[in-house]
Homo-oligomer: A and B are copies of this chain.
Amino acid sequence: MTPVNGPRVDARDDAADDESSYEEAGTGKRRGRRPGREDTRAALLTAARELFSEQGYEGATVRAIATRAGVDPAMVNHWFGGKEGLFAKAVLELPFNPPEVLETILNGGPIDTLGERIVRTFVTRWDESGGGVFTALVRSISAREDAAKALRELIMKYLLGRIASELASDHAELRASLCASQMVGLGMIRYVAAFEPLASADIPTVVALVAPNLQHYLTGELNLERAE
């Protein structure tokens, strides 16, 4: 069946490399384990987060990620068991750091300035990465089949679950999803579409503009009676 079965010709020696002394540390890749203490795993995670953010899940190839990290593509399999595992670790896990963020939001002031704290906290965090954290999530999520579930769980777990339960008012889940729609939309316009003037507005301006509506979703009147 296999067309090539024979001598397994090796084309390795085309480099004509007579580097018997391995002094050169720049690009001369030795063969085996690396000498110093270089964290290949962390380099891969960083490169993966960048490329998933720019290209999405399908667009970011394992080869490109490994090249940016300066290592061999095979290391993705060695450290993460494959592209899926790398994606899960790089994009779906770390970048939220839930306890710290939630403390700031929930215990940072009275409930009638909650919307303000939510907007300020997330825009500040998203801006720190140049929008990369947000776009990585959206771009990658949009290309995988478990997109909806992943996004839903992430928002519920880190963003709104705790907030909704803290509200202790009527229609907590409805208020939470409305709140999510405004925050996700803000991220889409500011980072993914880069729609002006909202994309370049500074953080206090964005807070002043968006927080009132968020606060209305959280504690205001929903006038559901007009609909039902």
Contacting pair A197 B185 (CB below 8 A): no
Contact with B along A198-223 (1 / 0, CB 8 A): 11011011011110110011000011
Contacting pair B148 A194 (CB below 8 A): yes
Which A residues, 145 to 203, have Cβ-Cβ distances below 8 Å to chain B? Answer: 145, 147-148, 151-152, 155-156, 173-174, 177-178, 180-186, 188-190, 192-199, 201-202
Known: A56-B58, A151-B193, A152-B195. A208 touches B223 (CB 8 A): yes
A-side interface size class: 35 or more
Bound Cα distance A205, B227 (Å): 5
Bound Cα distance A127, B184 (Å): 20
Contact with B along A104-142 (1 / 0, CB 8 A): 000000000000000000000000000000000011011
Known: A55-B143, A56-B142, A143-B142. A196 touches B182 (CB 8 A): no
Interface residue A59 (Cβ < 8 Å from any Cβ of B): yes
Known: A58-B59, A145-B55, A177-B195. A209 touches B222 (CB 8 A): yes
**How many copies are assembled?**
2
Bound Cα distance A177, B197 (Å): 7
Some 13 contacts from A to B, beta carbons below 8 A apart, are A56-B58, A151-B192, A156-B195, A173-B197, A178-B198, A182-B182, A182-B185, A182-B213, A184-B185, A208-B222, A208-B224, A208-B227, A213-B213
Bound Cα distance A152, B147 (Å): 23
Interface residue A228 (Cβ < 8 Å from any Cβ of B): yes
Interface residue A8 (Cβ < 8 Å from any Cβ of B): no
Contacting pair A189 B181 (CB below 8 A): yes
Contacting pair A181 B194 (CB below 8 A): no
Interface residue A78 (Cβ < 8 Å from any Cβ of B): no
A133 to chain B minimum Cβ distance, whole angstroms, is: 15
A29 to chain B minimum Cβ distance, whole angstroms, is: 28
Interface residue A226 (Cβ < 8 Å from any Cβ of B): yes
The residue on B at minimum CB distance from A171 is B197
Contact pick for A188, options B145, B188, B198, B224, CB 8 Å: B188
